[in-house]
């Protein structure tokens, strides 16, 4: 079973870096149709690149990211003990076979491990759920967009207005750096760590999918409109679509704190999932 899981991880990584999800591609197409020069040229190049990556089975971007996993494991899933090792080995194998760019550098020595593994890397976010199945999602997160992440502990007195202002101003300063059109994840509340976890997890939501709660969905729409009105545009060259979507998640906060975390995902909004059942059967899921 371990070998089967390792191969499934290799395929999952390959699929994620080569084949962009359709909802993202559709959003980029819509942006292109709606755009003028010089942003139009950028979006045409992006769409052509997505197609070439699929045809030639090559990673769409040379930055194949930090391998970040989200694992939902059922309490009765029989292969719980194999998952971690399978992910680490799968990443190592995928680095050679796909190939991926080696992106894990030792903080102390500055040396690249050359296989995308190292201290805490690949990183696995675990979630224990009911049942006997397991869902593994990979988000290969590029460095350029990751560098545009931020966290601010706002004074609660500034309220949600202050939160929105902060997000807007931050995305203006980020400008062309995170490879727009981007998807923005915003985590509000909790503590510093919880806000950032929520912001990043929000990136897994499909483009165009609104939060279930009306008030949060409205905040997402409002931010989306505000950021796009600034005209940063594709690659920061000026244009109508700076962000494809904004996803907000919230947690209850401490009375004295109002943490706001922002995670930015480049246009190459890569995410892929598989489901494994108790018999060890594996499916790709959307």
Give me the residues that bind other proteins (CB under 8 A), please.
Answer: 38, 41-42, 45-46, 48-49, 52-53, 56, 58-64, 99-103, 105, 111-112, 114, 142-144, 147, 160-161, 164-165, 168-169, 172-173, 175-177, 179, 222, 226, 229-233, 235-238, 266-268
Report in angstroms how near the CB of residue 283 gets to other proteins at its nearest: 28
Backbone angles phi, psi at 13, to 5 degrees: -65, -45
Q: Can you tell me the distance from the alpha carbon of 139 to that of 64, in angstroms, rounded to the nearest whole number?
A: 10
Report in angstroms how near the CB of residue 1 gets to other proteins at its nearest: 30
Report in angstroms how near the CB of residue 18 gets to other proteins at its nearest: 10
Q: Which is nearer to other proteins, 68 or 242 (CB)?
A: 242
Q: Is 153 helix (H, G, I), strand (E, B) or coil?
A: strand
Identify the burial level of 222 via C-beta atoms within 10 angstroms of its C-beta, where 0-12 means exposed, 13-18 middle and 19 or more buried.
middle
Report in angstroms how near the CB of residue 42 gets to other proteins at its nearest: 5
Total count of residues recorded for the chain: 286
Q: Can you tell me the distance from the alpha carbon of 59 to that of 61, in angstroms, rounded to the nearest whole number?
A: 5
Q: Which is nearer to other proteins, 109 or 130 (CB)?
A: 109
Q: Which is nearer to other proteins, 125 or 230 (CB)?
A: 230
Q: Can you tell me the distance from the alpha carbon of 117 to that of 91, in angstroms, rounded to the nearest whole number?
A: 7
In this structure, the number of other CB atoms found within 10 A of the CB of residue 106 comes to 11
In this structure, the number of other CB atoms found within 10 A of the CB of residue 254 comes to 11
Report in angstroms how near the CB of residue 243 gets to other proteins at its nearest: 12
Q: Which is nearer to other proteins, 181 or 185 (CB)?
A: 181
Q: Which is nearer to other proteins, 42 or 134 (CB)?
A: 42
- The contacts of residue 225 (CB under 8 Å, 6+ apart) are none
Report in angstroms how near the CB of residue 48 gets to other proteins at its nearest: 6
Helix-, strand-, coil-residue percentages of the chain, each rounded to 5? 40, 25, 35
Q: Which is nearer to other proteins, 72 or 271 (CB)?
A: 271
């Amino acid at each position: 079973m371990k070998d089967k899981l390792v191969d499934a991880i290799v395929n999952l990584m390959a699929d994620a870096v080569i084949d962009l999800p359709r909802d993202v591609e559709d959003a980029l197409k819509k942006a292109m149709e709606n755009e003028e020069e010089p942003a139009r040229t950028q979006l045409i190049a992006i769409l052509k690149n997505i197609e070439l990556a699929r045809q030639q089975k090559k990673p769409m971007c040379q930055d194949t990211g930090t391998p970040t996993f989200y694992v939902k494991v059922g309490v009765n899933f029989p292969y719980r003990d194999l998952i971690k090792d399978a992910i680490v080995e799968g990443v190592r194998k995928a680095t050679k076979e796909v190939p991926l760019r080696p992106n894990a550098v030792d903080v102390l020595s500055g040396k690249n491990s050359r296989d995308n593994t190292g201290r805490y890397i690949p990183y696995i976010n675990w979630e224990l759920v009911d049942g006997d199945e397991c869902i593994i999602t990979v988000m290969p997160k590029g460095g350029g967009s990751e560098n545009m992440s931020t966290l601010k502990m706002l004074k609660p007195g500034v309220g949600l207005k202050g939160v929105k202002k902060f997000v807007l101003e931050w995305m203006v300063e980020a400008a062309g750096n995170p490879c727009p059109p981007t998807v923005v994840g915003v985590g509000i509340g909790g503590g510093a760590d919880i806000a950032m976890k929520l912001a990043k997890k929000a990136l897994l939501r499909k483009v165009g999918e609104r939060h279930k709660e009306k008030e949060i969905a409205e905040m997402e729409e409002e931010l989306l409109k505000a950021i796009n009105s600034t005209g940063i545009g594709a690659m920061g060259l000026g244009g109508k679509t700076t962000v494809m979507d904004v996803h907000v998640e919230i947690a209850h906060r401490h009375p004295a704190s109002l943490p706001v975390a922002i995670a930015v995902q480049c246009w190459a909004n890569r995410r892929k999932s598989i489901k494994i059942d108790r018999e060890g059967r594996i499916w790709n899921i959307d």
